[in-house]
């Protein structure tokens, strides 16, 4: 980018490491006037993104709700195929991970890199534990022949609707697990950034935004758990 | 040879006239507003074509009044159209009580028709004029749509459920029957004819005298299936079988095992044949196997016709739908 | 600010860097807009060729040109390419990308890297879909109705659906970027009610992008999964409901029509004041009606399902709401017309497109009333009447708006003038060709010719011949701008910063704009469309 032009733009910060751009060595991107505007844009962007996620999960949850109302009995029966214990354990794990994530966001603003990394790694470990348990659950469904399409062997009363329920179970929890995997990827990047001392009271946007995402993914599970696991128990 | 250039479809049902009236009203309305907008654009374009001096236009000439005016006027007009269209739709959706019943099953790429009296047709539907005809639709595979332009009626045939439409033909003739919902390779060839006939001709056709042997009625065919499939071993005429007796069931309220109840309409009867575990009659075990794949949609319709014919005199009141059907059938054969 | 248009040494976004790499790795919203321009033109050509094949085939009742399956794949290719890969991205991704930062006095969109990612996602989605087409094609129609798409069809539905799914994320990210940019990056003094109506329209469109697109994404994903893994979300044999698919599909796909038309309305709202030298009439009403359309548009999807077996009560509600959503569109048409009053009207190509838009959109909108009327829709549903109606909206409306906008801002985009007379001639050819193509289809539809019919009864032939003749003219008309725009990039006369003497921030910077758009951040002190302050006698710069 030619300097002659850049010089004539008072607010422009053309290069990532512009000397007067922001604190702690972090740059304000060239399209923004200041760090405040940049943070505001990032926050708004994240909330809008979460809104699209709400619509994404909302559509399939709405479809599920319609079928549930239509087939109350078979769906309630079918929910007994799921392991309440593992589901509840995962709920506890995720709720705890939300807590550690909140601590990580706090640490990013107030604490040193080592503390930041510690909270991020704890969150990461809990997320991984969730996925491992989920994998065991999926595995047992395979063994029991409860996976629609691939090997569905259940032929008790209302088998068709059980298959429908389990189709939704895999679609919903699968999408959720995919979000968890993405979240863990994001956490790995954050750990790497935190170790390099990128975050401080002046700049912690990535941690804050990832925190919003992580809480959202937890929130989805808070809907999924009762809607899938607790149907047959009332 | 002068090629044919039709601009308007034939009117051959009682609803064709009323639908066309709304159509003409909307054409007039559209023509008025299109010409108004086009006229204003052309007039302004000529009158105010590019000039070197500015014409003084007040900043807000009648602004609010105009805005309110052209918001309220279209709203009022559109509500009139809404009401008109809605009334027509309700008429189109509500078959008269004395409708003759026929059944059409869509299957790629043909229409299979059945008359209660037993005549079956492919891609042709014979109907009498001067009498409402209710067509019950379903599909064996994908969604089809039963469309008779001359009657201004259309209804999707959806797999797994029953839908219906009705019409009353007004003049004898052969009319296009189209499949209007895309259904694959030969969608455009899934066409047929509705043949409207004088009632007497229709009766002659229906009783099969043109071809000799009298057809087997749908209920009769259903009865044979009922025996052949072994239904009769569990569903006996008294309540001694492992399944409930089906006498007087059609159209009545059925108590279910979960404590709720359901009216045994054709949709419920169909479900009970194909997905018997779905809603089980109170007091019975969910032991009936599914007949999905063993019977086609046309056979399901025959079984339902048979179940609906299972009546003993002077017992519980019959469902309204069934009553009409029986009457229509009786009238049909009597006429 | 007095930019020097004749100086070819001035640094602008086109000459700042050369080479394929500098384009493929660009984060400049203007270059990304240009990338979209090229990509969607390719998709338009593919969809257009398919349309031409369809029209040629329908010259004869027996459909002699191709077989049943080929025909079905052709109209599917036409629909998928045009809807998902041309119309939806057209104005937002090309003109919106290019213009929003310029119009609000920003140096770029809020998230330039995300913007580039959107384009790559779009290309990936388009690539997957093209792969599906080239390796055998898809025959479900762009609507992917179940159970035909999940069980009936044995064509490449899964990959086509995945392509649509992927490209959806491009829309979502573009909408997100626009919303954040419009909220957070406006120049000092540029209050909401000073925003150009084009920006308002993009804002409304972006709302639909972010709320509607996720729903179609998950829906086509479920179709792909149901098809490939044989699970049964919509399968009637498992008690699934094929009609549910239609609800989910139209929840997006009806608002998607507003994705196509709202930006075009925004374009027209910019062009008309410029070529009448008037302030736009009813600024607030036009702005608010865009939002009203975007929000009400989410509540009318069931009007595609009046004959599907949907309950009568649901149909009544959807019909009522469909009439309600027509009102804000009518308000816009009246306001544009009133803007002409006591103007100083010029008829350069952009204005011809804008006037053509008003006429065709009016017809398209009014025939929408036919379809919203329950009793009448039963007859015309899924016939050529519907085909004609939505082409009047999407082609007569959206494409006319897109072409009008492309001509209007071409000097800004390319720094060159397009040949004015040729452009006027092609605008007239397109208008006439369009009407000859699609007007007969209204008649055909009321006669009862169903859509997606490869063969048809002989009495429909004459009207089909008219339509095909019109399509040939239309096709030729579309070819002209592609040729002369490309030609003008190299040989066109150099454009000044503001060849139309137009108001608006985008004209206050050189053509083509420098990489960071403005030499210094502009400060806005007036309402938009300050044409009363511009001397109407000043010559425009045309080639």
pLDDT tens column, B19-52: 999 999 999 999 999 999 999 999 999 999 887 7
- A198–chain C nearest CA distance, Å: 20
Which pLDDT score is estimated for A153? 84
Q: How many domains is chain C built from?
A: 1
Pairing of the two strands B261-263 and A146-147: unpaired
* Distance in angstroms (rounded) separating the CA atoms of residues B27 and C364: 13
Mean pLDDT for C493-508 is 94
pLDDT at C486 exceeding the cut of 80: yes
**3-state SS track over C366-414:** HHHHHHHCHHHHHHHCCEHHHHHHHHHHHHHHHHHHHHHHHHHHHHHHH
Give C246: exposed, middle or buried? Use CB within 10 Å, 0-12, 13-18, 19+. buried
Nearest Cα residue to B293 out of C292, C310, A160, C50: A160
Which pLDDT score is estimated for B212? 59
* Distance in angstroms (rounded) separating the CA atoms of residues B85 and C202: 34
Please identify, among B215, B247, B274, the residue that sits at the C-terminal boundary of a domain: B215
Mean pLDDT for C440-463 is 96
Interchain CB distance below 8 Å, C323 and B160: no
Q: Which residues of chain B have pLDDT under 50?
A: 314-335
pLDDT at C143 exceeding the cut of 60: yes
Q: Are A44 and C184 in contact (CB under 8 A)?
A: yes
Structure tokens at A68: 């549930």
* Distance in angstroms (rounded) separating the CA atoms of residues C27 and B57: 44
Q: Are A22 and A39 in contact (CB under 8 A)?
A: no
**b vs e for A20-45, b when ≥16 Cβ sit within 10 Å of the residue's Cβ?**
ebbeeebbbbbbbbebebbbbbbbbb
Helix/strand/coil for B50 = coil
Q: Is residue B63 part of a domain?
A: no
Chain C residue whose CA is closest to B137: C309
Q: Are B164 and B235 in contact (CB under 8 A)?
A: no
Helix/strand/coil for B216 = coil
Which pLDDT score is estimated for B213? 66
Q: Is residue B7 part of a domain?
A: yes
Q: Is residue B85 part of a domain?
A: no
Q: What is the DSSP letter of B94?
A: S
For A139-177, the pLDDT digits (tens) are 999 998 888 877 788 877 778 888 889 999 999 999 999
Pairing of the two strands B124-128 and A146-147: unpaired
Q: Which chains pack against C, by 3+ Cβ pairs within 8 A? A: A, B
Interchain CB distance below 8 Å, C337 and B40: yes
Domain hosting B152: range is 1-43+94-215
- C407–chain B nearest CA distance, Å: 19
Q: Is residue B211 part of a domain?
A: yes
Interchain CB distance below 8 Å, B37 and C337: yes
Neighbours of A181 (CB within 10 A): 13
What percent of chain B has a predicted confidence (pLDDT) above 70?
A: 89
Q: Are B119 and B215 in contact (CB under 8 A)?
A: yes
pLDDT at C3 exceeding the cut of 80: no
Report yes or no: B258 at the A interface, CB cutoff 8 Å.
yes
The values of phi and psi at residue A135, to 5°, are: -60, -40
Q: Is residue B73 part of a domain?
A: no
Interchain CB distance below 8 Å, A30 and C108: yes
Q: Is residue B89 part of a domain?
A: no
Are residues B133 and B20 both part of a single domain? yes
* Distance in angstroms (rounded) separating the CA atoms of residues B74 and A131: 57
pLDDT at C237 exceeding the cut of 80: no
Which pLDDT score is estimated for C2? 44
Helix/strand/coil for B107 = strand
Q: What are the domain boundaries of chain A?
A: 50-229
Please identify, among B182, B215, B248, the residue that sits at the C-terminal boundary of a domain: B215
Q: Which residues of chain A have pLDDT under 50?
A: 1-25
CATH number at residue B209: 2.60.40.420
* Distance in angstroms (rounded) separating the CA atoms of residues C180 and A38: 10
pLDDT at C68 exceeding the cut of 50: yes
Are residues B159 and B128 both part of a single domain? yes
Structure tokens at C325: 């959503």
Are residues B100 and B228 both part of a single domain? no
Please identify, among B152, B187, B215, the residue that sits at the C-terminal boundary of a domain: B215
* Distance in angstroms (rounded) separating the CA atoms of residues A19 and C417: 41
Which pLDDT score is estimated for B318? 39
Neighbours of C56 (CB within 10 A): 16
Q: Greater confidence, B60 or C122?
A: C122
Provide the ipTM.
Answer: 0.93
Partners of C121 on chain A (C-beta within 8 Å) are: none
The values of phi and psi at residue C128, to 5°, are: -60, -45
Indicate the pLDDT class of residue C53, thresholds 50, 70 and 90. Answer: very high
Q: How many domains is chain B built from?
A: 2
Q: Is residue C13 part of a domain?
A: no
CATH 1.20.120.80 fits A50-229, yes or no: yes
Chain A residue whose CA is closest to C214: A56
Are residues B208 and B263 both part of a single domain? no
Report yes or no: B185 at the C interface, CB cutoff 8 Å.
yes
- Surface of B (230-249) touching C: CB under 8 A: none
Q: Is residue B21 part of a domain?
A: yes
Partners of B258 on chain A (C-beta within 8 Å) are: 72-73
Are residues B237 and B177 both part of a single domain? no
Nearest by CB: A148 against C11, C232, C515: C232
Neighbours of B292 (CB within 10 A): 13
- DSSP track, C188-227: TT--GGGS-HHHHHHHHHHHHHHHHHHHHHHHHHHHHHHH
Interchain CB distance below 8 Å, A71 and B275: no
- B313–chain C nearest CA distance, Å: 35
Report yes or no: A41 at the C interface, CB cutoff 8 Å.
yes
Q: Is residue B64 part of a domain?
A: no
- A117–chain C nearest CA distance, Å: 27
* Range in A13-17, C249-253, C296-300, C500-504 with the lowest mean pLDDT: A13-17
Are residues B185 and B237 both part of a single domain? no
For C286-306, the pLDDT digits (tens) are 999 999 999 999 999 999 999
Are residues B159 and B181 both part of a single domain? yes
> Which of B278, B285, B292, B293 is the mutation pick for testing A, counting most A CBs within 10 A?
B278
* Distance in angstroms (rounded) separating the CA atoms of residues C405 and C423: 13
Report yes or no: A67 at the C interface, CB cutoff 8 Å.
yes
Which pLDDT score is estimated for B209? 55
Which pLDDT score is estimated for B59? 66
- B289–chain C nearest CA distance, Å: 15
| Helix, strand counts (H, E) of chain C | 17, 0
Interchain CB distance below 8 Å, A12 and C107: yes
How far is the CA of C117 from the CAs of B7, C32, C196, C214, C217, in angstroms? 51, 10, 27, 17, 18
Q: Which chains pack against A, by 3+ Cβ pairs within 8 A? A: B, C
Averaged confidence pLDDT in chain B: 87
Tell me the count of B-C CB pairs closer than 8 A.
277
Interchain CB distance below 8 Å, C378 and B154: yes
Mean pLDDT for C418-429 is 97
Interchain CB distance below 8 Å, B258 and A74: no
Partners of B275 on chain C (C-beta within 8 Å) are: 239
Domain hosting C259: range is 30-530
Geometric angle at alpha carbon C358, from C352 and C359, rounded to 5° = 90
Are residues B17 and B136 both part of a single domain? yes
Interchain CB distance below 8 Å, B153 and C345: no
Q: Are A60 and A171 in contact (CB under 8 A)?
A: yes
Are residues B169 and B33 both part of a single domain? yes
- C211–chain A nearest CA distance, Å: 6
* Distance in angstroms (rounded) separating the CA atoms of residues C339 and C279: 7
* Range in B330-334, C55-59, C147-151, C351-355 with the lowest mean pLDDT: B330-334
- C54–chain A nearest CA distance, Å: 35
* Distance in angstroms (rounded) separating the CA atoms of residues C478 and C49: 12
Report yes or no: B267 at the C interface, CB cutoff 8 Å.
no
Q: Is residue C20 part of a domain?
A: no
CA C192 vs. chain centroid, Å, equals 24
């Amino acid at each position: 980018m030619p300097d002659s032009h850049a010089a004539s733009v008072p607010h422009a910060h053309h290069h990532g490491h512009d000397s007067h751009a922001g604190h702690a060595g972090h740059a304000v991107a060239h399209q923004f006037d200041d760090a405040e505007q940049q943070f505001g844009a990032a926050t708004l962007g994240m909330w809008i993104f979460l809104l699209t996620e709400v619509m994404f999960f909302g559509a399939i949850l709405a479809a599920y709700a319609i079928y549930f109302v239509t087939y109350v009995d078979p769906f309630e029966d079918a929910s007994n195929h799921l392991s309440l214990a593992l589901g509840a354990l995962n709920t506890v794990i995720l709720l705890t991970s939300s807590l550690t994530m909140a601590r990580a966001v706090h640490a990013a603003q107030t604490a040193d890199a080592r503390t930041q990394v510690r909270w991020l790694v704890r969150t990461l470990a809990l997320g991984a534990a969730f996925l491992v348990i989920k994998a065991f659950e999926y595995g047992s469904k395979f063994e029991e022949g409860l996976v629609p399409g691939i090997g569905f062997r259940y032929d008790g009363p209302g088998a068709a609707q059980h298959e429908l329920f389990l189709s939704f179970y895999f679609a919903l929890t699968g999408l959720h697990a995919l979000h968890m995997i993405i979240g863990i990827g994001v956490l790995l990047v954050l750990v790497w950034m935190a170790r390099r001392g990128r975050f401080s009271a002046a700049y912690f946007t990535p941690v804050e935004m990832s925190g919003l995402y992580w809480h959202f993914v937890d929130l989805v599970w808070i809907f999924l758990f009762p809607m899938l696991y607790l149907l047959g128990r009332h | 040879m002068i090629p044919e250039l039709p601009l308007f479809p034939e009117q051959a049902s009682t609803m064709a006239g009323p639908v066309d009236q709304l159509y003409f009203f909307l054409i007039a309305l559209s023509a008025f507003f299109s010409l108004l907008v086009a006229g204003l654009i052309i007039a302004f374009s000529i009158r105010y074509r590019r000039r070197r001096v500015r014409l003084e236009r007040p900043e807000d000439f009648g602004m609010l009044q105009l805005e309110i005016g052209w918001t309220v006027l279209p709203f009022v007009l559109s509500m009139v159209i809404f009401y008109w269209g809605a009334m027509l739709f309700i008429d189109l959706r509500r078959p008269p009580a004395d409708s003759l019943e026929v059944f059409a099953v869509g299957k790629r790429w043909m229409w299979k028709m059945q008359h209660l009296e037993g005549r079956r047709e492919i891609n042709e539907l014979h109907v009498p004029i001067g009498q409402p005809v209710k067509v019950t639709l379903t599909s064996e595979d994908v969604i089809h749509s039963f469309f008779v332009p001359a009657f201004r009626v259309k209804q999707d045939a959806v797999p797994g459920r029953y839908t219906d439409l009705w019409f009353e033909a007004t003049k004898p003739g052969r009319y296009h029957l189209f499949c209007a919902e895309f259904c694959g390779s030969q969608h455009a060839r899934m066409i047929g004819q509705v043949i409207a006939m004088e009632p007497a001709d229709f009766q002659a056709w229906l009783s099969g005298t043109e071809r000799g042997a009298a057809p087997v009625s749908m209920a009769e065919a259903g009865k044979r299936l009922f025996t052949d499939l072994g239904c009769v071993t569990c569903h006996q005429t008294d309540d001694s079988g492992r399944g409930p007796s089906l006498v007087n069931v059609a159209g009545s309220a059925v108590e279910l095992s979960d404590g709720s109840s359901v009216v045994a309409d054709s949709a419920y009867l169909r479900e009970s044949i194909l997905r018997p575990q779905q809603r089980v009659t109170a007091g019975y075990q969910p032991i009936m196997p599914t007949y999905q794949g063993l019977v086609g949609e046309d056979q399901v319709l025959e079984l339902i016709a048979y179940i609906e014919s299972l009546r003993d005199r002077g017992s519980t009141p019959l469902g309204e739908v069934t009553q009409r059907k029986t009457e229509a059938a009786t009238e049909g054969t009597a006429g | 600010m007095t930019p020097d248009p004749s100086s070819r040494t001035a640094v602008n976004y086109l000459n700042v860097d050369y080479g394929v790499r500098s384009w493929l790795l660009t984060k400049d919203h203007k270059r990304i807009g240009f990338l979209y321009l090229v990509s969607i033109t390719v998709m338009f050509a593919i969809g257009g060729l398919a349309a031409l094949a369809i029209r040629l085939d329908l010259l004869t009742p027996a459909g002699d040109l191709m077989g049943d399956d080929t025909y079905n794949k052709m109209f599917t290719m036409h629909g998928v390419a045009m809807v998902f890969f041309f119309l939806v991205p057209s104005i937002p991704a090309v003109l919106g990308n290019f213009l929003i930062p310029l119009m609000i006095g920003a140096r770029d969109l809020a998230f330039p890297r995300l913007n580039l990612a959107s384009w790559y996602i779009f290309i990936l989605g388009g690539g997957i879909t093209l792969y599906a087409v080239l390796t055998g094609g898809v025959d479900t129609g762009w609507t992917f109705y179940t159970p035909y798409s999940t069980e009936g069809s044995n064509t490449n539905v899964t990959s086509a659906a995945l392509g649509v799914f992927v490209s959806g994320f491009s829309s979502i990210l573009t909408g997100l970027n626009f919303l954040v940019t419009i909220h957070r990056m406006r120049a000092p003094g540029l209050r909401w009610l000073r925003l150009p109506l084009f920006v308002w329209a993009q804002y409304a469109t972006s709302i639909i992008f972010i709320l509607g697109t996720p729903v179609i994404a998950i829906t086509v994903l479920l179709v792909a999964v149901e098809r490939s893994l044989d699970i049964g979300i919509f399968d009637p044999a498992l008690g699934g409901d094929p009609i549910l698919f239609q609800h989910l599909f139209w929840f997006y796909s009806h608002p998607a029509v507003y994705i196509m038309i709202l930006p075009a309305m925004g374009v027209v709202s910019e062009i008309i004041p410029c070529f009448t030298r008037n302030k736009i009439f009813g600024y607030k009403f036009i702005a608010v009606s865009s939002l009203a359309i975007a929000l009400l548009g989410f509540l009318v999807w069931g009007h595609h399902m009046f004959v599907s077996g949907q309950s009568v009560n649901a149909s009544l509600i959807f019909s009522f709401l469909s009439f309600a959503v027509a009102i804000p569109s009518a308000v816009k048409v009246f306001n544009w017309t009133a803007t002409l009053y006591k103007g100083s009207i010029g008829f350069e190509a952009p204005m011809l497109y804008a006037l053509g838009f008003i006429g065709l959109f009016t017809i398209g909108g009014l025939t929408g009333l036919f379809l919203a009327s329950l009793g009448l829709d039963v007859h015309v549903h899924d016939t050529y009447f519907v085909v004609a109606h939505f082409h009047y909206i999407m082609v007569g409306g959206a494409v006319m708006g897109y072409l009008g906008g492309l001509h209007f801002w071409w000097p800004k985009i390319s720094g060159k003038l397009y040949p004015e007379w040729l452009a006027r001639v092609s605008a007239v050819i397109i208008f006439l060709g369009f009407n000859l193509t699609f007007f007969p289809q209204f008649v055909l539809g009321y006669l009862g010719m169903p859509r997606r019919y490869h063969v048809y009864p002989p009495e429909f032939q004459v009207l089909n011949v008219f339509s095909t003749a019109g399509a040939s003219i239309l096709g030729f008309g579309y070819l002209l701008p592609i040729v002369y725009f490309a030609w003008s990039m190299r040989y066109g006369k150099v454009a000044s910063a503001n060849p139309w003497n137009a108001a608006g921030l985008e004209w206050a910077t050189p053509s083509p704009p420098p990489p960071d758009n403005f030499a210094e951040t502009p400060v806005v002190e007036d309402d938009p469309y300050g044409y009363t302050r511009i001397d109407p006698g000043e010559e425009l710069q045309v080639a």
